[in-house]
């Protein structure tokens, strides 16, 4: 649930969501956390009132990264948890991440429709002073203790981190120092105006970090997003690793055995490395709710999305940016080679970023149907768990509907840059052609 505060998301809506969520979970003990956004304290207060007025007991953990809240819910046997956050969105946004007792996210197709129905039905009375009943709880200290038990560095590792002025500032530096890293950090004061840059780690926002790493002999760099569930890893030369490549390196250089989950947009290289290491590759749809479910249902050791969410079995399958940084530090402390050398030793294919074409929501299914029919005729192999991924003679092409926007997304991978361009041109012309045919048909 996300929106711009206060136009789309305000205290009354927060109260209603709290009330509805309490009904959905049957009350019980609910863990509440929030990110550093300026509107988060007010929204957290209102959601707590809604929860309490509907019969729940609320435990407030204050400002915490989202993965710390998830872990807190499961380890302390809460009946559910709510994190007030809009993750990597700009400062004027806010939102809520809602989890059940087992850490499963409430999302569309998994409880969100029922929640929405309850929210619409609630008659808002004058909000009570139920805020007095909130109990405070520390979930950060147990989190640090848990990570220290899971990670063991063989030697000190020099790490530079950009915390994006987000919730991870609260715990990140302490955690990394306690496991044995030498840490230099930037944008490390929690600040809801996000003065460093928007809390979305990408090529643009991580330029300063990249320079810092490459010019000062750091072994590892990491850019953490606003709520801490994602870390973008940089090698010692300041180069950014996509999530699928980060996963490939963890599989290649760690003692991972078992099933490994990756999303449908991942490089073919990932599957190749998983198989070479004697592990079992498992493919998933794109999106956190799908990935978490998949990691858990197949009992995977680890999983990752190209978007840099990395999921760990030892954290109940949750994605955690700080833990991902800790695991890379552990890997490097045991490696003879720098990360840049490991990265360069992996054969790389030419791959595109994710490109989009605007398609009205009501036409998305029809466009995908038309696109699929054509692609099936051209492909050597097809995967259609999320849109359609067509394996062609020198690479692949993926076309899929966006989960959240009126768009069709496409990306490709090929053995050379010319073939890559040909695949992307093919995807674009195919989507536009099918859309135009549908529009002509509608206009008759």
Query: Is the peptide bond between 351 and the residue preceding it cis, with omega within 30 degrees of 0?
Result: no
Cα–Cα dist 264/389, whole Å: 8
The answer to whether the CB of 235 falls within 8 A of the CB of 242 is no
Active-site hit among 40, 87, 307, 351: 87
- Angle of CA points 230, 236, 237, to nearest 5°: 105
Q: Output the CA–CA distances (angstroms, integers) from residue 361 to 75, 287, 366, 435, in the order listed.
A: 40, 18, 10, 12
Beta strands 135-136 and 157-162 are: unpaired
Active site residue 214: no
Four-point Cα dihedral 73, 74, 78, 79, nearest 10: 100
Q: Could you write out the three-class secondary structure of 366-398?
A: HHHHHHHHHHHHHCCEEECCCCEEEEECCEEEE
Q: Extract the runs of DSSP E, i.e. beta strands, from 289-379.
A: 302-304, 310-312, 350-351, 355-358
Neighbours of 77 (CB within 10 A): 9
Indicate which residues carry an active-site annotation: 87
């Amino acid at each position: 649930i996300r929106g711009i505060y206060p136009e789309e998301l305000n205290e009354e809506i927060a109260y209603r969501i709290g009330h509805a969520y309490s009904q959905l979970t049957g009350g019980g003990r609910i863990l509440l956390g929030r990110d550093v956004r300026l509107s988060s304290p007010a929204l957290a207060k209102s959601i707590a009132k809604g929860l309490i007025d509907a019969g729940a007991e609320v435990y407030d953990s204050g400002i915490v990264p989202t993965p710390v809240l998830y872990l807190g819910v499961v380890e302390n046997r809460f009946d559910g948890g709510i994190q007030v956050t809009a993750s990597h969105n700009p400062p004027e946004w806010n939102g809520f991440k809602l989890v059940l007792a087992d850490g499963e996210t409430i999302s569309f197709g998994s409880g969100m429709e029922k929640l929405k129905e309850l929210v619409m039905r609630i008659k808002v009375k004058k909000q009570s002073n139920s805020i007095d009943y909130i109990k405070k709880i520390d979930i950060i200290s147990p989190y640090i203790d848990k990570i220290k038990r899971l990670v063991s560095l063989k030697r000190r590792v020099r790490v530079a981190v950009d915390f994006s002025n987000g919730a991870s500032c609260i715990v990140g530096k302490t955690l990394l120092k306690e496991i044995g890293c030498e840490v230099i950090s930037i944008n490390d004061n929690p600040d809801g105006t996000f003065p460093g840059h928007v809390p979305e780690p990408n090529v643009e926002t991580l330029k300063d970090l990249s320079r810092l790493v490459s010019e000062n002999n750091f072994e590892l760099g990491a850019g953490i997003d606003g709520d801490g569930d994602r870390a973008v890893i940089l090698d010692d030369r300041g180069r950014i690793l996509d999530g699928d490549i980060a996963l490939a390196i963890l599989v290649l250089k760690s003692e991972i055995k078992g099933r490994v989950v990756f999303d449908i947009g991942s490089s073919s290289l990932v599957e190749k490395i998983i198989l070479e290491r004697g592990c079992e590759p498992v493919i998933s749809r794109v999106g956190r709710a799908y990935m978490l479910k998949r990691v858990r249902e197949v009992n995977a050791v680890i999983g990752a999305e190209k978007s840099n969410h990395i999921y760990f079995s030892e954290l109940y399958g949750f994605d955690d940016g700080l833990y991902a940084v800790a695991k890379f530090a552990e890997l490097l402390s045991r490696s003879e080679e720098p990360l840049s050398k490991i990265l360069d030793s992996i054969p790389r294919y030419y791959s595109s970023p994710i490109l989009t074409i605007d398609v009205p929501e009501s036409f998305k299914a029809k466009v995908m149907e038309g696109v699929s029919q054509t692609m099936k005729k051209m492909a050597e192999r097809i995967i259609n768990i999320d849109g359609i991924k067509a394996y062609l003679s020198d690479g692949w092409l993926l076309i899929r509907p966006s989960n959240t926007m009126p768009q069709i997304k496409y990306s490709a991978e090929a053995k050379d840059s010319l073939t890559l361009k040909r695949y992307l041109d093919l995807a674009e012309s195919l989507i536009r052609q099918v859309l135009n045919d549908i529009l002509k048909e509608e206009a008759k």
